[in-house]
Amino acid sequence: MRRLTIAVPLLAVTAAGALSAGPAQAHARRPGPGMENCTATACHFDVPPGTYDVTVLLGGGTAASTSISGETRRSLLPETATGAGRPVTRSFTVDVRTLEGEPTGPEGAPGLDLVVGGSAPALAGVRVTPALLGGRGTARPEDGRTRTRQIFLIGDSTVCDQPADPYSGWGQQLPQYFRKGVSVANHADSGESTVTYLADPALFPAVRTLIREHDLVLVQLAHNDKTTDGATYRANLETLVAGVRAQGGEPVLVTPVVRRWFNADGTLDNGTALLVNGLGVDHPAVVRSVAAAEGVPLVDLTARTKALVESLGVEGSKALYLYDEKRDNTHTSVHGATVYAALVRDELLALGLVPRALVRVG
């Protein structure tokens, strides 16, 4: 595919031409603005790291159903059906960085990469423009533009942008639930505990420098704190909260997703499944306690995932995890990560942390 190289001084007009409402096949013969960077299944834009608003025109002369993912397998737009000759416009905001997936993982491709998917994909137009950062997702009176609310994610392999199938973290699926004006910057990393996330210069020390005033920072770390004593675990959470607040950000503590380990009576095991480590540290209980003591919003994902997994039962809950593929009862499938991301979305809405108008529901 042809690639459009854009100098930084011209960034404000990156692929910013008007979207055409013509059918997708017409663009294959006469590319419109931005579409010269696309094939039928993918787009690439040579933009520097940053936060970008993407507007796409979906549909064509026949009925279609299109989804958009990007960077390291992030779900950016859920599958959207369009009728024949009835294209629709959708917009979302995407975080673009050089280490596009896990902070300690491979560098990845520079620029913004989008993948066109769905059962009958049809991309008819695309426009990419720099997002206006800062604030709480409210419009600037002088120009009417919407400020982008950034949501940073700090976590482990159950949250991160997993590089390959069949794995997926819930943070990888979260972007699809937000409209233009909310950006998800997933800095979760496989294998990290509260100890290692604070100590590694590529992790919390690096994330801190990116946080702006009023950015949300969701913290879910517990799965790898298997040898962390209770006092240290609590102190580490308090350090993360203080570090976020020092940058003007708004911390949100998230209890960990459960592991799929059942008792004979169909309930989840009180140790392994509910994240109580070998030292007897009840990680969700400590997270709840710190949230209450520090006045931090709490997303009790342990309680939400426990209720869901137990309601589905031993067999029904297998699809949420990688039991069939890997005999893995900790890491989620794409389906499970998507379901769990929706739980996080619902909690953020219930807590009033994101504007309802910028959230995709249903």
Give the CATH number for residue 149.
3.40.50.1110
Q: How does pLDDT run across 199-243, given as a tens digit for each residue?
A: 999 999 999 999 999 999 999 999 999 999 999 999 999 999 999
Alpha-carbon distance values, 353 to 31, 57, 79, 151, 316 (Å): 40, 29, 25, 10, 32
Q: Are residues 126 and 137 in the same domain?
A: no
Hey, what are 291's tokens?
């949230």
Q: Which of 273, 260, 267, 258 is nearest to 311 (CA)?
A: 267
Residues 82 and 114 reside in one and the same domain: yes
Answer for the pair 220, 212: CB distance below 8 angstroms, yes or no. Answer: no
Question: Are residues 191 and 271 located together in one domain of the fold?
Answer: yes
Q: What is the pLDDT of residue 109?
A: 84
Q: What is the pLDDT of residue 362?
A: 72
CA torsion, ordered 298, 341, 320, 301, to nearest 10 deg: 0
State the total domains in the chain. Answer: 2
Cα separation, 57 vs 33, in Å, equals: 12
Closest CA to 61 of 117, 119, 17, 120: 120
Tell whether 224 and 276 lie within a shared domain.
yes
Cα end-to-end span (Å), the chain = 35
Cα separation, 181 vs 94, whole angstroms = 10
DSSP 50-110: EEEEEEEEE--SS-EEEEEEETTTEEEEEEEEEBTTB-EEEEEEEEE-SS-S-TTS----S
CATH number at residue 55: 2.60.120
Same domain, 166 and 150: yes
Co-location of 227 and 207 in the same domain: yes
Q: How crowded is residue 192: how many other Cβ atoms within 10 Å of its Cβ?
A: 28
- Is 309 in the same domain as 321? yes
Residue at a domain's end among 130, 148, 164: 130
Pair (176, 291) in one structural domain: yes
Q: Does residue 1 sit within a domain? A: no
Structural domain includes residue 224: yes
Domain presence at residue 2: no
- Whether 161 and 116 share a structural domain: no
- Listed in sequence order, the residues at least 6 apart from 315 whose beta carbon sits closer than 8 Å to its beta carbon are none
Residue among 82, 69, 92, 76 nearest 23 (CA): 82
Structural domain that includes position 107 = 8-130
In a domain, 189, yes or no: yes
Give the other-Cβ count within 10 Å of 298's Cβ.
18
Domain boundary among 115, 130, 145: 130
Phi, psi of 37 (to 5 degrees): -95, 10
Task: Give the residue from 130, 153, 181 where a domain finishes.
Answer: 130
Q: Are residues 264 and 150 in the same domain?
A: yes
Q: What is the pLDDT of residue 267?
A: 97
The model carries a pTM of 0.90
Cα 38 from Cα 55, distance rounded (Å) = 14
Tokens 């459009």 -> residue: 4
Q: Which residues, in sequence order, are CB contacts of 118 under 8 Å at separation 6+?
A: 64, 65, 66, 67, 79, 80
pLDDT at residue 33 in the model: 41
Domain check: are 31 and 162 in the same one? no
Q: Give the residue ranges of the chain where pLDDT is below 70.
A: 1-33, 135-145
Question: What is the per-residue pLDDT across 12-41, written as a single tens digit (0 to 9) for each?
Answer: 333 444 454 433 333 333 333 478 999 989
- Indicate if 315 and 329 belong to the same structural domain: yes
